[in-house]
């Protein structure tokens, strides 16, 4: 089916399973005509990602440890190979902090795990944007979307070091938007309310947080991965051709509240 993304090629990082936000975004792009490539992290999820990728006729599925410059360089070289030397769209939906740092006190975060969380969750966007730049330049421009969370702007109990990583990610979006704007590459973020993904399910107190969220958000609704799919499709489409360096809140209005 042709659509907004007919003739466009997209690389998607961060699919773990069918509930992943990255998968919801990929699905939208596919439905509207995009050609897709995927990365996965670790052999534990390789089979799942390969099966999902096959269902949307993906042109490439390859491993990427975003902490490794060599891996990032290889992945973008493989992407250029699969996509005839260019890339139109990059979806970055990657984050990781040690489980023990998403409970207890932020104050107790050790140095090594602080930097690990920022490396995987924030620097990875910078590394990928830099690697995507020449490929997008070959297309005369491009669009990049990453996932962020309110916990990078306000203190959300237990979000801890991930909040500090998201603050760094949010600032990176703005600086990347400035640098890459010169090449007609747009960089934006989606700030989603809590979505029940694999990453979320293992979080202590997630259900309580969902209840508070549905009570306090203006729309009194929970957020689904597909809500992020629709928002990402907008930001990645030409409808958003003059939108860069911004955050689109997909959170039933929660961020607008003071109580």
Residues forming the site for ligand 0WE (CB under 6 A): 95-97, 99, 102, 149, 156, 158-159, 162, 194, 199-200, 202-203, 209
Minimum distance of ligand 0WE from residue 248's CB (angstroms)? 15
Residue 122 DSSP symbol? I
**Both tokens assigned to 180:** 């890459």
Nearer to ligand 0WE (CB atom), residue 35 or residue 227: 227
Judged by beta carbon, residue 58 or residue 209, the one nearer ligand 0WE is: 209
Q: Residue 29 or 161: which CB sits closer to ligand 0WE?
A: 161
What HEC string does 130-180 produce? HHHHHHHHCCCCEEEEEEECHHHCCCCCCCCHHHHHHHHHHHHHHHHHHHH
In the residue annotation, 234 being an active-site residue is answered as no
Beta pairing partners, 188: 145
Nearer to ligand 0WE (CB atom), residue 126 or residue 203: 203
Q: How far is the CB of 156 from ligand 0WE (least distance, A)?
A: 5
- Of 55 and 202, the one with the shorter C-beta distance to ligand 0WE is 202
Please confirm, yes or no, whether 254 is among the known catalytic residues.
no
Least distance in Å: CB of 209 to ligand 0WE? 6
Of 204, 142, 206, which Cα lies nearest the Cα of 177?
142
Q: What distance in Å separates the CA atoms of residue 133 and residue 148, rounded to the nearest whole number? A: 21
**How far apart, in whole angstroms, are the C-alpha atoms of residue 236 and residue 26?**
11
Cβ(14)–Cβ(36) below 8 Å: no
CB-neighbour burial class of residue 215 (10 A; exposed 0-12, middle 13-18, buried 19+): exposed
Both ends of the chain: CA-CA distance in Å?
44
How many whole angstroms separate alpha carbon 243 and alpha carbon 82? Answer: 28
The active-site residue, picked from 159, 175, 249, 254, is 159
Choosing from 123, 149, 175, 234, the catalytic residue is 149
Least gap, CB of 194 to ligand 0WE (angstroms): 4
CA distance 236 to 46: 26
Smallest separation (angstroms) from ligand 0WE to the CB of 150: 8
Q: Which residues are catalytic?
A: 149, 159
């Amino acid at each position: 089916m042709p659509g907004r993304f007919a003739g466009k090629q997209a690389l998607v990082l961060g699919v773990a399973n069918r509930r992943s936000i990255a998968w919801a975004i990929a699905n939208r792009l596919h439905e509207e005509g995009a050609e897709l490539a995927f990365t996965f992290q670790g052999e534990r999820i390789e089979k799942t990602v390969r099966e999902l990728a096959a269902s949307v006729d993906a042109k490439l599925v390859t491993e990427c440890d975003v902490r490794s410059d060599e891996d990032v360089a290889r992945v973008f070289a493989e992407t250029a190979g699969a996509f005839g030397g260019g890339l139109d769209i990059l979806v970055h939906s990657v984050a990781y902090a040690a489980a023990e740092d998403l409970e207890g006190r932020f104050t107790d975060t050790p140095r090594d795990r602080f930097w690990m969380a920022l490396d995987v969750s924030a620097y990875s966007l910078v590394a990928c944007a830099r690697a995507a730049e020449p490929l997008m330049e070959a297309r005369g421009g491009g669009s990049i979307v990453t996932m962020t969370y309110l916990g990078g702007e306000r203190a959300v109990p237990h979000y801890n070091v991930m909040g500090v990583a998201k603050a760094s990610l949010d600032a990176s979006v703005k600086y990347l938007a400035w640098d890459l704007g010169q090449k007609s590459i747009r960089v934006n973020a989606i700030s989603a309310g809590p979505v029940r993904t694999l990453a979320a399910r293992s979080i202590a107190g997630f259900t309580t947080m969902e209840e508070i969220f549905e009570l306090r958000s203006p729309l009194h609704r929970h957020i689904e991965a597909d809500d992020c799919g629709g928002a990402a499709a907008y930001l990645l489409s030409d409808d958003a051709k003059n939108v860069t360096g911004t955050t689109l809140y997909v959170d039933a209005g929660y961020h607008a509240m003071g109580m």
